[in-house]
Amino acid sequence: MLPAARPSPAEYAFIFDMDGTMVDNMAYHAQSWLAFFARREQNLDEAAFFAATAGRQNHEIFRQFIAQDLSDAECAALAHEKESMYRQLYAAHRAPVPGLLNLLAEAKAAACALAVGTAAPPENVAFILDELALRPHFDAVVGSQEVARGKPEPDIFLAAAERCGVSTEGCIVFEDAPLGVEAARRAGMPCIALCTTYDAAQFADFPNVVACIRDFSEISLPQLLAHLKPGLRKPS
């Protein structure tokens, strides 16, 4: 069961995907996934694989591409292998996407709630949020192990809004992948698309995408708030 929503005066919440959004790390995930499957003599088309899986939970991916009847323990062991490869590759390159820290500070000063909604496993969340000292900025962090379904289902973003005590109309999502943007749409939330992994054309058909940006320096707090409806906070 998810924790109850925190008491909060916030009328708005900014919900951030992590991989490819807060950090530009998807190339390293790509390398680790391709190496992981190559060990199993599976040579995947990189573009097609990521279009089908970005934002999904690891066990969903393993059961699609390896075997449907994998046990939870088998999935956990496979995830440990793949994610260890990724962390080794990316460790020396960790850095927030330009403009992120400034936007977090401005949003916090404006009394906006801040949350992370990520399909990443706990070890990867700690690898980014703790090693880059980002966790203290956030009121809530929702990971894949805390919800039943990964993206494109809206579970992660709905849980993040609930924990922030803000209704969906007062939330805006930051995402880098079409499946994540679709999850935001299903949650009833507008979305800012980060073009770290895909170009803007990949988001053209999503009605909830209100801007496509290369990094956070290209968007301002007033522009973000203009897409939200205030005064809709859920009761604490």
- The CATH number for 65's domain is 1.10.150
Is 99 inside a domain boundary? yes
* Distance between CA atoms of residues 169 and 161, nearest Å: 10
Structure confidence at residue 166 (pLDDT): 95
Domains of the chain: total: 2
In this structure, the answer to whether residues 19 and 121 fall within a common structural domain is yes
In terms of residue numbers, what domain contains 177? 13-24+95-225
End-to-end CA distance of the chain: 17
In this structure, the answer to whether residues 113 and 203 fall within a common structural domain is yes
Residue 76 makes CB contacts below 8 A (sequence gap 6+) with: none
* Distance between CA atoms of residues 34 and 38, nearest Å: 6
Q: What is the pLDDT of residues 88-127, one digit of tens each?
A: 999 999 999 999 999 999 999 999 999 999 989 899 999 9
Look at residues 175, 152, 200, 145 and name the one whose alpha carbon lies nearest to residue 21. Answer: 175
Stronger pLDDT, 54 or 186, i.e. the higher one: 186
Starting at the earlier edge strand, list the strands of the sheet with 113-117: 140-142, 113-117, 13-16, 171-175, 191-194, 209-213
pLDDT band of residue 9 (cuts 50, 70, 90) is: low
pLDDT band of residue 235 (cuts 50, 70, 90) is: very low
Q: What is the pLDDT of residues 176-205, one digit of tens each?
A: 999 999 999 999 999 999 999 899 999 999
Residue 79 makes CB contacts below 8 A (sequence gap 6+) with: 58, 59, 62, 121
Residue 210: burial class (beta carbons within 10 Å; 0-12, 13-18, 19+) = middle
| Residue type at position 217 | S
Q: Identify whether the C-beta of residue 191 lies closer than 8 Å to the C-beta of residue 208.
A: yes
Tell me the pLDDT of the chain averaged across its residues: 91
pLDDT band of residue 144 (cuts 50, 70, 90) is: confident
CATH at 158: 3.40.50.1000
In this structure, the answer to whether residues 122 and 44 fall within a common structural domain is no
Task: Kindly list the catalytic residues.
Answer: 17
In this structure, the answer to whether residues 19 and 32 fall within a common structural domain is no
